Structure 1
């Protein structure tokens, strides 16, 4: 029974079985042609998912390393940036920039709401001396379950001649992001989210505009250097440092699977699963933090905890009694909300198992929950999708 784990986290996420087995292949020399072929396949697959013709670099680190790299490679000490904060991970991006000596201006928005583009535009209009060198944003704010749409911000970045750096760690491969068409200069994601691969890889797309900005960057970088990574790949299809070979094996299989399914089908699948979870928990009388469907995340949902239940009890009972894994919220939402992740290799069966377990735990904790109510709501969503 312990092997039947239902992992409903915003990361790490379940790995398709055939891809997981690919990670058990024998290790090869990372300066051999076999590795060059592996990196070439992965890079081409990533360009499809990023929807870009720009350079895509594979860094051996977590998403946070990629966020550091996005700053270290495009900015200089004292540069001014506008960071759009709608939750804990927007705040984290701002903090990383501050640690590098960047002049950070936080534009804060209520947690549970998306970026107000008109405020951003007004601030850029006020910047008559072009001090703002970059806009930093989180595409999918994992702490709240809010989508911030990059397209209008890419238009503003082009109009006001600044860079747009996007944290897409919990969105890429689950939520539409047209890197080139929307004018995004740097997109950062990681392997263990919608890309359904073990932790250990950060994938970054970099535009020519961002690479040119890097020529004047005076921030320290060696391991994080985009130029070093690009030059080595362009020269002989290798990485400057030892790559995470086993993780790349898995990622290659996952990317092939995504291409076979088709991006539009991948995005639609995430929308359906998200809708099923949202309608199920609301049918049980629980409130979701994000009410507006237009900005509600397709990869994670934040749900208000009933006042009668502590999160630690809910989480432990779901885990111990049903082997279902959910997580709590962060920052100012901690203790008041819990989150269900639904990205990557999460099936309809996983959703139904999670809702069933949630119903049982809520009833055992004394809430007036009619068993099957949430399940029925989720099943209706799935049936409606099948009839389309």
Structure 2
């Protein structure tokens, strides 16, 4: 293996397009000058279609978790009751955030690897009419599950006055998001996954309903105060020092998405998901999620007769291919492949080919090329 040859296929951070790398290498400009105002003016309208909203998308220098915390401290009053739908590790993170702020937190725990059913949320809301906010992940990164956000939003609004708050960190930009049409009140994502940037930016959009709650919320907050970002973004600025290099890269990312077309971006992610799943199904290797619950941005595999960590070790050693392991109780039990952002069907074929060799190296008897053929058939249609 070449020392500098690394293939990054974990579910974030994801590879960065060369043109985005070049954009980020530009010279610094004054962050309060006209050039930065012009940059933000160009960026703002191009972010909105990715979220599926006519609301402005707030841009905050911070990780995706900063975006989750922003939602909690802005949209939830200290004495509110909330429901957190936990379908994996990042649902757990929302629950921990709420608990840390001494919010009365109800949990709806779903078996890891399964998506939440709208009916279970409906039952819970009817039993707990005081709930003021419902939190869910869109794609649960730890399991590769895509939750039915459109249906969940309908259930929340038909059965309560609660805000519906969604962590879209590992899928917004790679899957269709219709925030306004579906009735999502706050949608969050991060820069380092389907948005094809390094970590360091989080994006938050809020509905009119959410802005009313935010404006009335007495909870103290400073850096993560969304009202500050709303006021300054209207003036093409930020309340605190922006991450300029990432903004340079973001403008190029948005240009690439616009050139490809959002529908084509989403179709590409769906195709990569189907190719990846078909390859493992052809080898009889179990997948963690069902076809109907699977995310287009990450696939989780749960092998029954070979060690997941040994496969990860051998393909990293021999080919420089990094795939992710499991989290919490799934550590050592699963491996996860990220196919999001700057990733194509050609990359999927490469990944499957390498994994087939890795499987043979660790003693798993397979028919070499069978997974690749299955993926090729999906591609050809």
Q: What are the within-5 Å matches in structure 2 for residues 272-283 of structure 1?
A: 272-283=271-282
For 2:237 and 2:325, how far apart are their aligned partners in 1?
A: 39
SS in structure 2 of the partner of residue 232 of structure 1 = helix
For structure 2, the 5+ residue unaligned runs are none
For 1:274 and 1:2, how far apart are their aligned partners in 2?
A: 30
Question: Which stretch has the larger CA shift, 42-51 or 27-36?
Answer: 42-51
SS in structure 1 of the partner of residue 180 of structure 2 = coil
Partner of 1:61: 62
Structure 1 residue 310: deviation in Å? 4.7
Using the size of structure 1 for normalisation, the TM-score is: 0.95
For 2:230 and 2:303, how far apart are their aligned partners in 1?
A: 46
Partner of 1:180: 180
Deviation string, structure 1 residues 137-172 (Cα, Å, up to 9, x no partner):
000111111111111222233332110000000010
For 2:308 and 2:108, how far apart are their aligned partners in 1?
A: 32
Q: What are the within-5 Å matches in structure 2 for residues 159-308 of structure 1?
A: 159=158, 160-234=160-234, 236-291=235-290, 293-308=291-306
Question: Which stretch has the larger CA shift, 187-196 or 316-325?
Answer: 316-325
For 2:320 and 2:206, how far apart are their aligned partners in 1?
A: 40
SS in structure 2 of the partner of residue 92 of structure 1 = helix
For 1:307 and 1:153, how far apart are their aligned partners in 2?
A: 36
Structure 1 residue 100: deviation in Å? 1.0
Contact 2:118 2:155 in 1 (8 A): no
Over 3 Å counting, the alpha-carbon distance change for 1:283 and 1:187 in structure 2 is same
Using the size of structure 2 for normalisation, the TM-score is: 0.97
For structure 1, the 5+ residue unaligned runs are none
Partner of 2:313: 316
For 2:270 and 2:3, how far apart are their aligned partners in 1?
A: 29
Deviation string, structure 1 residues 320-378 (Cα, Å, up to 9, x no partner):
21121101011221111010011111122211111111111110111111211111111
Residue-pair matches, total: 379
Contact 2:190 2:202 in 1 (8 A): yes
Q: Which runs of 4+ in 1 moved over 4 A?
A: none
SS in structure 1 of the partner of residue 181 of structure 2 = coil
